[in-house]
Amino acid sequence: MSANVVIHEVRNGAMWIRLNRPDAMNSLTPEVLRGISLALDEAQAHAGVRAVVLTGTGRAFCAGADLKFVREQVGNNADAINDFLQDVLSTMNRLASYPMPVIAALNGITLAGGLELVLCCDLVLATRSAKIGDAHANYGLLPGGGGSVRLPRIIGATRAKYLLYTGDFLSAEALKEAGLVNQVVDDDQLMAQTQALVEKIAARSPLGLRRMKALVDDGLQQPVDTALRLELLASEAHSHSQDLKEGLAAFEEKRQPRFTGR
């Protein structure tokens, strides 16, 4: 992979993935998509990883697909365009289905495919200066990474259609009110606040986190009665876990639990 377009490292309980094409606003190319997938592979293989953090270098989180790459390397070749979109969607789906919590730390401009990356994350922190939008309509494009599907499920159809139709950018505060962003922070506090969230999550049961994420994601796709039955079945299975026993013992002994993920 040339010039480390994606930098990743395990630090303090999380796999930190940083898109690293600041001159191109961290736009997506096949190399960037492979870098994200490689980092997720390593995260799943690392026993100490309790969460994943996705962020960017420079003034952008991610400005979407690299349109220069699309124009010069893909051009009018329908098959090549479809292959690239399949790679984009595959990476998005991989991020969305990662079994542990995924945190987006939005350091700046977040557009189009960048927004689609955010929609695949569980929790979102953003700087006050961040501008967020879909922007496909600005260039006659359609979402290809799940934006038209995931965005209305998170912020509602009416708000999603506004972003999709107009291509406008909104502030992090506005999208916090809409339900996309969990926390808006001062620009110079993004990494510290993200680290604090990672540490809080890393102290929880990794087995419990995996099961809770699956329950929420699966439950949203099921009728309420079915989802409640799935929750009960998962709770019954979890009652045999070492982490549950450790949590109850820690409560009885008035100490912090020491979870092992079993």
Predicted pLDDT of residue 81: 81
With a pLDDT cut of 70, the percent of the chain lying above it is 98
Q: Is the pLDDT of residue 3 over 70?
A: no
The domain made up of 2-202 has a fold known as 2-enoyl-CoA Hydratase; Chain A, domain 1 (3.90.226)
Q: Nearest to residue 231, comparing CAs of 207, 214, 209, 215?
A: 215
When pLDDT is averaged across residues 73-78 and rounded to a whole number, the result is 72
Domain ranges of the chain: 2-202, 206-253
Q: Report pLDDT digits (tens) over 130-153.
A: 999 999 999 999 999 999 999 999
- Could you tell me the pTM of the whole model? 0.93
Q: How confident is the model at residue 1 (pLDDT cuts 50, 70, 90)?
A: very low
Question: Token digits for 163?
Answer: 């972003």
Residues 96-110 have a mean pLDDT of 97
Mean pLDDT for 48-63 is 96
In this predicted structure, what is the pLDDT of residue 79? Answer: 80
* Mean pLDDT of the region 88-112: 96
How do residues 219-234 score in pLDDT, each as one tens digit?
A: 999 999 999 999 999 9
